[in-house]
Amino acid sequence: MIKDLRENSTIEDKFLVKDANVMVSAKGTNYLSLVLQDASGTIEAKKFDLKEKDVEILQAGNFVEIEGNTSLYLEKLQIIVRYASKLDENKIDFSYFVQTAPLSEKELSDNIASYINSIQNVDCKSIVRAIFKKYWKKFLIHPAAVKNHHDYCGGLAYHTLTMCKVADSICNIYQDMNRDLLISGCLLHDIGKMVELSDAVLPKYTVEGKLLGHLVIGTEIIKQTAIELNIQGEIPLLLQHMIIAHHGKLEYGSAVLPQLKEAYALSMIDEMDAKLNAIDKALSNIEEGTFTERIFSLDNRVIYKPFKD
C-alpha cells in the first residue's frame, strides 16, 4: 500500500491511475507524469523511456499493476515505473483502490436517516425526504470533492453527518437557533454534487457541474422538489438561500452572502469541517515533529504535527 512505501524500495503492486499527462523532459524526450492511488492514499510517479503502449496502459481511470522503484524528488516520495500492465476490471476489488469513509455505509445510512427523522417542521422534512429518496444510494458512496477535502468514497455522507453533529451541538448552546432549518441545510447543502461530480471511483466534474456548480444545482433541486410536493410558503425559499449562500463569501462562490442566522451558521460549520479534514489529510502523510506541505485550501499555509506524549 502507498502509505507503507519507503525511499529506495523495489515495488510490485496494483494501483488506480488517478491522473496521467505526457510531459517533455529537459532533454526533449517524452515521459508520463502520473498520480497513482490505492485505498491508503496517492503518490506521484514517472514513466520514462516512453512507448505508445505505456500511454495506452497508464491512462487515467485504468487499474494497473506496476513494477518500479521509489525515490525522493524535491523531498517528496515518488515511484519510477519500469513496467506496467492493465488489470482485468472484472476481477477487481474496488475497496483496495478507493479510500472510504471512516464509517461503514450502514453506519452512515442509519445516522443520516436518524437526522432526517428528527426534523419536526413538516415542509422541511417533506422536502429533505423526497430529495434523499431520489439520491439515497448514490449519496452514501459519493465523494464530497475531486480533491482537497472528503475526496473519497462515502466522503459526502461523512461530511454531511459530521456537519449535522456540529449543528446539533450549536443548537444546544444557541437555543433560539431554528434547528429544523439548520439540520435541513446541513443535509442538503451539497446535494448538488450528485449532479456536479461523476462518480465515486474517479470523480470528475460533469458538464452541468462545470457550467452551473453545485450551489445552483442544489437550489434548483430544492425548488423543483417543492413544486412537485406543492409546498408553498417560506420554507423552500429559506432552504434555497441556505444552499446558495453556504460558501459564506462571494469570492468563495456564494451567489449571495448568508442573510439568515442559520445560513451564517451553516457556512461556518461547512468551512470548519472542510478545512479540518484537509488538515487531517495532510497530517496523515507526515512524521511527528515535521510540517505539512502547503495546503491550498488554507491559503497555502503549513501545519505542524507535534510529538505525541
CATH code of residue 109? 1.10.3210
Looking at the fold, whether 55 and 141 belong to one and the same domain comes out as no
- Amino acid 124: pLDDT: 98
Looking at the fold, whether 271 and 162 belong to one and the same domain comes out as yes
Residue 104 lies in a domain: yes
Q: Among residues 36, 281, 285, which one has the least CA distance to residue 158?
A: 281
- Half-sphere exposure of 47 toward its Cβ, with a 13 Å CA cutoff? 26
Domain count, the chain: 2
**Residue 63's domain is classified under what CATH number?**
2.40.50.140
- Amino acid 221: pLDDT: 98
- Amino acid 297: pLDDT: 85
Looking at the fold, whether 51 and 123 belong to one and the same domain comes out as no
Residue recorded with cell 431554528: 178
Residue 288 lies in a domain: no
Residue 207 lies in a domain: yes
Looking at the fold, whether 61 and 145 belong to one and the same domain comes out as no
Task: Return the SS3 of 63.
Answer: strand
Looking at the fold, whether 143 and 250 belong to one and the same domain comes out as yes
C-alpha cell at 118: 428528527
Residue 223 lies in a domain: yes
Task: Return the SS3 of 158.
Answer: helix
Structural domain boundaries enclosing 181: 100-281
- Amino acid 172: pLDDT: 96
Looking at the fold, whether 83 and 207 belong to one and the same domain comes out as no
Residue 14 lies in a domain: yes
Last residue of a domain, one of 95, 114, 134: 95
Q: Where are the beta strands (DSSP E) in 48-172?
A: 63-73, 76-86
**Low-confidence residues in the chain, pLDDT < 70:** none
Looking at the fold, whether 64 and 161 belong to one and the same domain comes out as no
Looking at the fold, whether 268 and 123 belong to one and the same domain comes out as yes
Residue 309 lies in a domain: no
C-alpha cell at 150: 472528503
Looking at the fold, whether 120 and 167 belong to one and the same domain comes out as yes
Looking at the fold, whether 87 and 233 belong to one and the same domain comes out as no
Residue recorded with cell 511527528: 288
Last residue of a domain, one of 95, 128, 148: 95
Looking at the fold, whether 267 and 184 belong to one and the same domain comes out as yes
Last residue of a domain, one of 42, 76, 95: 95
Residue 304 lies in a domain: no
Helices (H) and strands (E) in the chain, counts: 10, 7
pTM of the full predicted structure? 0.82
Residue 170 lies in a domain: yes
- Amino acid 205: pLDDT: 93
Q: How far is 30 from 24, CA to CA, in rounded Å?
A: 5
DSSP state of 308: P
Write the single-letter amino acid at 72. Answer: L
Looking at the fold, whether 14 and 132 belong to one and the same domain comes out as no
